[in-house]
Structures are given as structure tokens and as C-alpha cells.
Amino acid sequence: MKKKSSEKKRHVVAWINKAEWDQVLEYLYSNDSTLQRHALQRISAWKGRYANSTPVAVDCTADLVRCQVLDRSGQLDGDDLVLLYGAALVRFVNLITEHNWK
């Protein structure tokens, strides 16, 4: 059966709607660590719904923001922070270079 050209392509995403996406994006780039933590919790919920299909940009951004939040909290010493930032950046490079762009 042929699809009609007027039919919209459906794209399944983990977030509830565009408003949730926009809010998480705004909170991630906020200077308030509490808002950033809330955004990271939403992304964790998205990962639970979407598993391995979470967009690369979302995963990498969350990792880097998580490092930033831990950095600001003062809970980790310099060596631990270097390792966390390094791991997040290496993961970013690996995911970007391995991703099959279509």
C-alpha cells in the first residue's frame, strides 16, 4: 500500500511535547544549578523511555552539564573533575565520529 505524499511522517520522541523540550533546554543553559539538576533528571527520564535511541546531542550535553554542576558544587577535587570532564569530552568525540549521519 502506498503512502500518500500529504501524510506527515511520524517521529517518536521521549519528551512529552515541545514545551517540555524547550523547558529542559532553557534549564540546561541556566546559571542556576537547581534548574540544571532538574533538567538532568528529565533527561534521565527520557533515557528510561527512549533507551539507546536518545539523541547524541542530548546525551553529550547532559554529560557536560552534569560535570559543570558537580564542578560548581565543590564536592569533587581537581583530579576527579579533570577525569569527569575528560570522559565526557571523549564520549562526545566518540559518539559524533561513530554516528552514521543520514
**13-30 pLDDT per residue, tens:** 778 788 988 999 999 999
Confidence grade of residue 6 (pLDDT, cut at 50, 70, 90): low
Instruction: Tell me which H or E stretch contains 22.
Output: helix 18-28
- Cell numbers found for residue 88: 565526557
> Which DSSP letter does residue 5 get?
T
d(CA 77, CA 14): 35
Largest CA distance in the chain: 61
Amino acid at 53: S
Confidence grade of residue 78 (pLDDT, cut at 50, 70, 90): confident
Domain map (residue ranges) of the chain: 18-98
State pTM to two decimals.
0.76
